Amino acid sequence: MTGQTLIHLQDVSKRFVKGKDTITIFDHLGLSIPAGDFVAVMGPSGSGKTTLLNLLGGIDQPTEGSITFDGGRVDTLTEGQLARWRAHNVGFIFQFYNLMPTLSAARNVELPLLLTSFGRAERKRRVEAALSLVGLAERADHYPREMSGGQQQRVAIARALISDPKLLLCDEPTGDLDRTTADEILAMLRLLNQEMGKTIVMVTHDPEAAKYARRTLHLDKGRFTERELVA
């Protein structure tokens, strides 16, 4: 199922300067993620998992080294180019869902489409399809506060999928959910990976969650140790 390299990190270093101190998170890190992979990233708190997602998602830039996505350099893009690149290529799923509380589910899912040239009717059609895919067609007009955590996260997944990106980045997507709900969400992610070929990188503390991935990377002191897991 996995194929060509989708993301490639070469000699990536990431340092934060805080006053006089410089914190080095990654020092000449290398990583390849093939298209269609589902990677779980685990590791102690502060090991740089979120920082890694930020680099993969074009939210943050490496101090040194190069990042290629689908054969093109990402680390050299300007802020405006990165925003457009993210809109087309990356869907984000957060621990706390990050829905707009003042917008209905449908309007939340529609957000990424507002950056495309689709007209109103086409946007509506796609929003309905995406909400059906996550099983929330009936909830289109509901507001986030009227939904459970699991439902909100499914809306967030629909939002991440709506512009059909190749890559989904999830930071602790089940960190705020109970076991049963977490399993539903994880099963959904696995489905997206297996049936729709989405490449997924998921940060998690939960070994049970990591079992849904094709492989798990352990991040510690700026280095990976890989352990294959069969999904």
Partner 1 sequence: MRVFNEIAVVTTICIKSIPQRFWASFSTVVAVGLVVTVLLAFLAMAAGFQQTLRGTGTKDMAILMRAGSQAELNSGVTRDQARLIEEAPGVMKDADGKPLVSPELYVIVDGVKKTAVPADGNLKKAPRSNLTLRGLGPAGIAVRPGLKIVEGRAFKPGTNELMVGRALQKDFAGVDVGDTVKLGNSNWLVVGAFELGGSVFESELWADTPEVQDLFHRQNVFQSIRARLTGPDALKALSDYAANDPQLKLDVTTEADYYAQQASRTSDLIQKLGWPLAIAMAFGALAGALNTMYSSVAARAQEIATLRCIGFSGTSSFIGTLLESLVLALVGGFVGTLVTWVLFDGLTGSTLSGASFSQIVFTFHLTPAVALQGVILALVVGLVGGVFPAWRAARIPIVEAYGTP
Ligand X SMILES: Nc1ncnc2c1ncn2[C@@H]1O[C@H](COP(=O)(O)OP(=O)(O)OP(=O)(O)O)[C@@H](O)[C@H]1O
Which helix (H) or strand (E) segment holds residue 85: the answer is helix 79-89
Site residues for Mg ion, 47-86, by CB under 5 A, read 50
Query: With CB under 6 A as the contact rule, which of the stretches 31-39, 48-56, 77-85, 102-110 interacts with ligand X?
Result: 48-56
C-alpha span between 229 and 213 (Å, rounded): 7
Least Å distance between CB 15 and partner 1? 15
Binding to ligand X by residue 204, rule CB under 6 A? no
Rank residues 52 and 147 by Cβ distance to ligand X and give the closer one: 52
C-alpha span between 157 and 29 (Å, rounded): 29
CA dist 204 to 88, 176, 211, Å?
25, 11, 11
Binding to ligand X by residue 49, rule CB under 6 A? yes
How deeply is 48 buried, as exposed, middle or buried, from its count of CB atoms within 10 A (0-12, 13-18, 19+)? buried
C-alpha span between 178 and 165 (Å, rounded): 28
Query: With CB under 5 A as the contact rule, which of the stretches 43-51, 91-99, 155-163, 206-214 interacts with Mg ion?
Result: 43-51
Rank residues 97 and 106 by Cβ distance to ligand X and give the closer one: 97
Least Å distance between CB 194 and partner 1? 25
Rank residues 36 and 48 by Cβ distance to ligand X and give the closer one: 48
DSSP-assigned letters across all residues of 177-218: S-HHHHHHHHHHHHHHHHHH--EEEEE-S-HHHHTTSSEEEE
Rank residues 48 and 150 by Cβ distance to ligand X and give the closer one: 48
Smallest CA-to-CA distance from 175 within 96, 91, 100, 92 is with: 96
**Using CB under 6 A, which of 7, 9, 25, 93 touches ligand X?**
25
Rank residues 50 and 108 by Cβ distance to ligand X and give the closer one: 50
Residues that bind ligand X (CB under 6 A): 16, 18, 23, 25, 43, 45-51
Residues that bind Mg ion (CB under 5 A): 50
